[in-house]
Structure 1
Amino acid sequence: MSTAPRRPARRRKEPVPLTDDRYFNRELSWLDFNARVLALAEDERVPLLERMKFLAIFAQNLDEFFMVRVAGLHRRLQTGLPARGADQLPPRAQLELVAERAAALVARHAALFAEVIRPQLDASGIKILSWSELDRSEHERMRAYFHDRIFPVLTPLAVDPAHPFPYISGLSLNLAAVVRDPETGQELFARVKVPNNVPRFVTVGAEGKNVRFLPIEEVIANQLHHLFSGMQVVEHHLFRVTRNADLEIDEERDEDLIEAMERELARRRFGPPVRLEVAASISDHVLETLVEELDVDQHDVLRVPGLLDLSRLFQIHEVDRPELKDPTFVPATHPRLLDGEKTRSVFNILRDGDILVHHPYHSFSTSVQRFIEQAAADPLVLAIKQTLYRTSGDSPVVDALITAAEAGKQVVVLVEVKARFDEEANIGWARKLERAGCHVVYGLVGLKTHCKTALVVREESGQIRRYCHIGTGNYHPKTARLYEDLGLLTADPQVGADLTDLFNTLTGYSRQTAYRRLLVAPHGIRSGILERIDREIEHARNDVPALIQIKANSLVDERVVDALYRASQAGVKVDLIIRGMCTLKPGVPGLSENIRVRSILGRFLEHSRVFRFGNDGDAEFWIGSADPMHRNLDARVEALIQVTDPVARAELDYLLSESMSDQHEAFDLNSDGRWERRVSTPERPLTDLQQSLLQRVISG
């Protein structure tokens, strides 16, 4: 196994004590991640509509951050619980720091859209207008649109002694209006909800490549007099509320998980507010009314210059202007799955050896989807067992499972109905699968089932053979074109036995914790990682070259972080490729000087989890669904599989080595918490790793 050139070994120094401040704050680390997303939107080399897409992703990410992570801090503050995890700051102090950092990012985000992206869109013929920029005929068209499509569904709600302040649904756009009675001069407050079943940006006109949009709130705001006939509209301001979206299920008490989830989904709508976004121009007395009526803290108020809710810019990204987007590409079929014009059985191919697929570079439809579809149609297949955490609205994988069940095969599907923000969709899938005759289960009490596994049982010449898929991403054909993920297809008998045992644990009363080629959380992954880190420490202490490389979405588990600190102190070279949160401080003398932390962001969402341990020259490679986080290691069923196939191991070696190569653009984490972006310049030309991998796979 080849390895990339390593840094020269440094003389081992006396280790420093592990002090309480050895971790970065994880909430601020998450905001740093979203700042890196914003940096992609700021990059002038990125096609214009893709820059706008990153603006939308930033906004969408921030919504979820407040709905979940900030909501958790509020709950701890209200209940008096201490801070959770590595961070030692009390919840109030964290909320204040988050508010300050988020406000700065929102201002930067809004300024980029208003001062850079919007003018460039305008110059390219994609105009997002204000009401005052429309001509007379366009005004007439928008008035007609208002009366035909919007006015009938609007319900202005007054606020006075006879009308209590209305409920404001989470993430909805609303207009706070102040109207005056011309007879009495009394000013009154009212709320108008912007309907969410019409496009956020109304098409004013389109001609060739040119298209003109108007935000729907501009249409409504300029027609408010029709809603308050006989009154004078004094002022109006846009606002938006974010609510706590966490669900709390007592699985020990609730006998029917589906019914309990449906009750909680209904209650989610009424979660307490955790953020109030208002237009920067809002008047003080209207803001005071909103703060008082919604019962939010001043720290939870974000003044947003310009348009609110830029997550809806995804609509503009759909404009048919390919020259303003990334070049389209067709994912390649894995070479092992190519067989001329014939469709060779996946099962015959897998008997010749494992296949490691790398999405989106390798096609999901001609690999994993094909594996499930062929299993559903194959008369020799007796059973299919699969976990589903997230999938798409028109899922060919679900369709194949239904086909298999209708053909009389035993089909067992674990549908995780607690998958955040996909709960309702997954309940629908579960019921559809049950109606088709599939055995549907919902996992273990108190745990989310997050592992990505599929097991096919086939009878061949009177013998049973098992075929498996274990991956890092969901069985979701749409995100498989957007997310970077890995999956292993194998007919290895040990893996088949492992997955059989795992499904028996998920569907029955088995309490197995030890496996052959798997590490399974909540019992085995953290301990397995720590054992292997300790082994590298022993190698380093014996002057044997030692190496740890981890590619993950986030790194926040204290026991893993502390073990990596000990490894660095012993002289182990540690490379970490972390897309999101990272609480480990790299490059601190005596503590982590042998640790490098890198973040790769780009066209595709880096989502795979890979672990490599040097093992005295006989490297171990693991892939799977688990990040080194508390929730993954303690509160979920996760699976890592050891990759033993020589070709697959070489591919993982290449991926990790290239990810840490200084020849590619990336973000590097400094010991003071600053992320430094390394970009290509004429003096130091660098390449885009994702583009390099794309070209490598497509060119064969």
Structure 2
Amino acid sequence: MASHPDTAHPAAANDSTSFADLPAEARYFNRELSWLAFNDRVLEEANNTAYPLLERLRFLSISGSNLDEFMMIRVAGLAGQVRSGVCETSIDGKTPTQQLAAITTRVRELEAKQQRALSQLRPLLEHEGIHIAGEDRIEEDAEDWLRAYFLEHIMPVITPQVLDPAHPFPFVANAGIGALFNLRRKSDGSQLIEMVLVPAMLPRFVRIPAEVLGDEAIYVAIERVVCRYAELIFPGFTIQGDGVFRVLRDSDIEIEEEAEDLVRLFRSAIQRRRRGQVIMLEIDESFDAEAGELLHDKLGLEQAFVTTTEGMLGISGLEEVVKEDRPELKFTPYSPRYPERILEQDGDAFAAIRAKDIVIHHPYESFEVVVDFLRQAAADPKVVSIKQALYRAGNQPTVINALIAAAEAGKSVTAVVELKARFDEEQNLKWAGELERAGVQVIYGFIDMKTHAKISMVVREEEEGIRTYCHFGTGNYHPVTAKIYTDLSYFTADPALGRDAAKLFNFVTGYVEPQGMERLAISPLTLDDTIIDNIDREIAFAREGKPATIWAKVNSITDQKMIDKLYEASHAGVEVVLVVRGICCLRPGVPGLSEDITVKSIIGRFLEHSRIYAFGNGEAMPGDKAKVYISSADLMERNLHRRVESLVPITNQTVHDQVLDQVLLANLLDTEQSWLLDGETGEYERVHADGDEAGFNCHAYFMTNPSLSGRGDALKESGVPKLTLRKGAQ
């Protein structure tokens, strides 16, 4: 990273913004292609020999799951636009048809790369005694067991169905797997085509148990088991050909802004999603030609993406193999720390927060502190009310149970449950019902906007009067993802932030637009203006010849207005360093456009999820005067204008130092898990440590070094290795 010059950037003298005259494709990357580049980086981790073998397989599975969702949502949306004749162009000037053409090419490349990765991992796994779809290794004892398993567990639940004019074509569920068989009756020579759909309740793989094979583990894909024993399904027939397939459907949910009953709307929309338009058909390379023609005809594939694979269908299903109990082939388990500052207060979260603000860095510090905050609030007789925003709570009810306990204890409890959290709609409906039955006031927020802000507010009656305690997060109240997503949980009893939090909740529950906000910025009202105002301040500093720097860590950046403002900052001489895990439509390092912008992406053991914005404020970074914010919002048009989000200023010095000098700086310094974006080509290149310098891994640093604000008196004894901008960890 280049240090900032002592004088203004030469371009600062010229106020013209000639970059605005460049064609769209020269100014921005395509959103969808950028996402595919992100998934390519995820897939590359399957080839990372520094990782244990099953972790490499996990990354392969994740890349498959990611690609499935991309097809079901993003590609399905573009296909819908094509069907409707929509010609609106993307940020880089491409029509939906042009985007689909480019996506098709890239998806085929990714799918082929996934199959290559699997073929490379298979022999390595076999060396460790783990065999995937290993029909060739099934000897007599295993064959007897597998046949018995098929007869006892699979045969009773599958339903063969003939495909002819007398029988309607069966419905194939989203992500459904099936097999087609071309049959000849032995008695009269007549031909039939039959379909067998694999019920969703069956396992993706059948694992032949250890008592049959000893130390060997053989996983046979469920569709291969069905094909293997087809003669048991179709006695009296000769099987002339077969083939397996998998279907993905349009899974987006459209919301009617005039809906009278939001819950009823979502229940019916979820049902419709299960029957959405087929958007992708995967078939194996040996698929029977005659059966394949029938399948194409009956599924209605005019706008569908059809792919033939030489390997395994449904790469995402490999997550079942990853669960194999082989700890030596996985990352060493990591146990998150519990903040000592709270332990020093005998576990009293309110006492610790009242003494000083605290930030918890997940997953390195336990999510239990967030749950305990709510549990304590539920049990504390001094607490009078709790307000909680729930975007994704997951299927583990720890947070839900704490809210229910509070309501049953007679406290006023309000839960803002977001029904539009994609793929969590059903789970959130379930939690909403349980909360309402316990006496919690459940609010669903805006019909046309998601409530994405991560906020909890506890009002407590104390000797000094009413005090409000707040939790602001960059991630969800989700106990499972909190173990693998890097996020920040900020606890404060700052009265101004408490008053602002109350106004945010009133905005969502009563549509009362907040007035006189003191600290908090929220979208869709003030968040983008606050960020732009800070960028403008840095531009002004650059033009005055002062240090001018912007550091930001986000998941995605796609908003054209923000990208153009960052181009303007670069044009003025502001040094801009962005850590963007996923989609980036901004082109960094392009002469005349973005010379002073660097974009890196970190892909590693944990999924980078926290959003942090930092502005130098006229001094070199990192510095005590820098303006630092944490947020639930990425720099995307939807986050800035179509969601309720929060942007929280960090003013407590200890928390400020942790977020800026520790969390954000470590991300900038990382060399072992980082990729740099080439602004000309859109390609990402792995970062390597300079010369003889040792590499720096930010995840390893956080696993081995405690945070600043959570340590309390323990910090005085152990200290924390300090990071420096030039030399990395010292």
TM normalised by structure 2 equals: 0.92
Q: Distance in 2 between matches of 1:198 and 1:550?
A: 45
Q: Give 3-state SS (helix, strand or coil) of 2:700's partner.
A: helix
Q: Distance in 1 between matches of 2:579 and 2:464?
A: 47
3-state SS, counterpart of residue 697 of structure 1? coil
| Matching residue within 606, 628, 634 for 1:627 | 634
Whole-angstrom distance in 1 between the partners of 2:195 and 2:89:
38
Tell whether 2:467 aligns with 1:461: no
Q: Quick check: 2:549–2:574 contact (8 Å CA) kept in 1?
A: yes
Unmatched 5+ stretches in structure 2 = 620-624, 708-717, 721-730
| SS of equivalent residue, structure 2 residue 634 | coil
2:714: which partner in 1? none
1:306 to 292, 311, 314: 311
Alpha carbons of structure 1 residues 280 and 524: separation in structure 2 relative to 1, 3 Å: farther
- What is the rounded CA distance, in whole Å, between the counterparts of 1:512 and 1:421 in structure 2? 31
Question: Could you say which residue in structure 2 is the equivalent of 1:658?
Answer: 666
Question: Which residue of structure 2 aligns with residue 352 of structure 1?
Answer: 355
| CA-CA distance at 1:650 after TM superposition | 0.7
AA partner of residue 359 (structure 2) = L
Q: Counterpart of 1:228?
A: 234
Q: How does 1:167-186 map to 2 (within 5 A)?
A: 167-186=171-190
- Rounded Cα–Cα distance in structure 2 between residues aligned with 1:681 and 1:573: 21
The gaps in structure 1 that reach 5 residues or longer are none
How is 1:289-368 mapped onto 2 (pairs within 5 angstroms)? 289-297=294-302, 300-339=305-344, 343-365=346-368, 367-368=369-370
Question: Which residue pairs with 1:238 in the alignment?
Answer: 244
- Deviation at residue 85 of structure 1 after TM alignment: 4.4
1:417-432 mapped onto 2 (5 Å cutoff): 417-432=419-434
Question: Given the superposition, is the C-alpha separation of residues 211 and 292 from structure 1 closer, same or farther in structure 2, using an over 3 Å criterion?
Answer: same
Could you say which residue in structure 2 is the equivalent of 1:381?
383
CA distance in 2, matches of 1:257, 1:637: 18
Match of 1:669 in 2: 677
- AA partner of residue 354 (structure 2): R
Match of 2:586 among 584, 587, 595: 584
In the alignment, which residue of structure 2 is the partner of 1:515? 517
Note if contact 1:209-1:321 (Cα within 8 Å) is conserved in structure 2.
no
- Compared with structure 1, are the counterparts of its residues 298 and 130 closer, same or farther at alpha carbon in structure 2 (3 Å cutoff)? farther
Q: How does 1:266-665 map to 2 (within 5 A)?
A: 266-297=271-302, 300-339=305-344, 343-365=346-368, 367-461=369-463, 463-512=465-514, 515-617=517-619, 618-654=625-661, 655-661=663-669, 663-665=671-673
Q: Decide whether the 8 Å contact of 1:553 with 1:578 is kept in 2.
A: yes
Instruction: Report the CA distance between 1:630 and its aligned residue.
Output: 1.5
**Shift, 1:484, TM fit:** 0.3
1:6 CA displacement: 2.4
The verdict on how the C-alpha distance between 1:353 and 1:96 changes in structure 2, with shifts beyond 3 A counting, is same
Letter in 1 for 2:503: D
Contact 2:182–2:288 (CA under 8 A) maintained in structure 1: no
Q: Deviations over 1:246-281 (max 9, x none)?
A: 1112132x2111111001011111110111111133
Letter in 2 for 1:230: G
What letter corresponds to residue 223 of structure 1 in structure 2?
A: Y
Displacement of 1:490:
0.2
Determine if contact 1:172/1:240 at 8 Å carries over to the other structure.
yes
Shift of 1:11: 4.5
Quote the Cα distance in structure 2 between the aligned partners of 1:277 and 1:156.
20
1:109 maps to a residue whose letter is Q
Distance in 1 between residues matched to 2:376 and 2:282, nearest whole Å? 50
Query: How far apart are the structure 1 equivalents of 2:516 and 2:535?
Result: 19
What is the alpha-carbon distance in structure 1 between the residues aligned to residue 516 and residue 289 of structure 2? 62
What letter matches 1:257 in structure 2? L
Q: Distance in 2 between matches of 1:281 and 1:682?
A: 50
156-165 or 14-23, which moves further after superposition? Answer: 14-23
Question: Aligned partners of 1:662, 1:501: CA distance in 2, in Å?
Answer: 39
Q: 372-381 vs 4-13, which deviates more? A: 4-13
Query: In the superposition, relative to structure 1, how do residues 209 and 381 fare at CA in structure 2: closer, same or farther (>3 Å)?
Result: farther
Moved more, 466-475 or 312-321: 312-321
**Is the CA contact (8 Å cut-off) linking 1:279 and 1:303 kept in structure 2?**
yes
Identity of aligned residues (%): 42
Q: Which residue number in structure 2 is paired with residue 690 of structure 1? A: 699
Shift of 1:525: 1.4
Q: Do 1:356 and 1:486's aligned partners in 2 also have CA atoms closer than 8 Å? A: yes
Deviation of 1:70 after TM superposition, in Å, equals: 0.4
Q: Counterpart in 1 of 2:3?
A: 6
- 1:70-109 matches, cutoff 5 A: 70-83=75-88, 85-109=90-114
Asked if 1:162 corresponds to 2:166, the answer is yes
Matched residues in 1 for 2:587 and 2:447: separation? 35
- Aligned residues of 2:396 and 2:479 also touching (Cα < 8 A): no
Q: 2:152 aligns with which of 139, 148, 156?
A: 148
Aligned position for 2:139: 135
AA paired with 2:683? R
Structure 1 contact 577–659 (Cα < 8 Å) conserved: yes
Q: Give the aligned partner of residue 728 of structure 2.
A: none
* Contact 1:665–1:679 (8 Å) recurs in 2: no
Query: How far 1:171 sits from its partner (Å)?
Result: 0.4
**What letter corresponds to residue 168 of structure 1 in structure 2?**
V
When residues 5 and 348 of structure 1 are mapped into structure 2, their CA distance, relative to the original with a 3 A threshold, is farther
Q: Which residue of 1 aligns with 2:710?
A: none
* C-alpha distance in 2 between matches for 1:401 and 1:656: 33
Deviation larger for 221-230 or 474-483: 221-230
**What's the secondary structure of 2:338's corresponding residue?**
coil
Instruction: Report the more deviating stretch, 330-339 or 665-674.
Output: 330-339
Q: Which amino acid aligns with 1:125?
A: G
Q: Distance in 1 between matches of 2:289 and 2:532?
A: 55
Report the alpha carbon displacement of residue 84 of structure 1 after superposing the two structures with TM: 5.4
Q: 1:201 aligns with which of 194, 202, 205?
A: 205
Kept in 2, the 8 Å contact 1:665–1:680? The answer is: no
Q: CA–CA distance in 2 between the matches of 1:96 and 1:578?
A: 26
Q: Is 1:565–1:591's contact at 8 Å kept on the other side of the alignment?
A: yes
**Shift, 1:192, TM fit:** 0.8
Say which is worse superposed, 566-575 or 462-471, in terms of deviation: 462-471
Contact 2:9 2:572 in 1 (8 A): no
More displaced, 648-657 or 437-446? Answer: 648-657
What SS is found at the alignment partner of 1:170?
A: coil
Shift of 1:228: 2.2
Amino acid at match of 1:41: A
Paired residue secondary structure (1:386): strand
Q: Is the Cα contact below 8 Å between 1:291 and 1:298 reproduced in 2?
A: no
